[in-house]
Amino acid sequence: MFFVMYFHKMQIPQKEFMLLNMYFVLFVVIEHESRNFIWNNKIFRIFAANI
């Protein structure tokens, strides 16, 4: 929810705001789905270790 509030304070146009919300929801869904697969978890850990 902080993410949404932060962008709302920036006074960006409504259309862009809705687009950002859609991308954010999509990201959360993909993140959630990827956790259901062990091999995706391994890839994610390797990626996180590289950062």
Sorted by where each begins, the domain ranges of the chain are 1-50
DSSP string over the chain: -HHHHHHHHTT--HHHHHHHHHHHHHHHHHHHHHTT-HHHHHHHHHHHHH-
Residues 2-34: tens digit of each pLDDT: 555 565 566 667 777 777 778 888 888 777 776
In whole angstroms, what is the distance from residue 45 CA to residue 39 CA?
Answer: 10
Q: Return the structure tokens found at 19.
A: 């687009």
CB atoms within 10 A of CB 23: 10
Residues 6+ apart with CB under 8 A from 10: none
Residue 39's pLDDT band, with cuts at 50, 70 and 90, is low
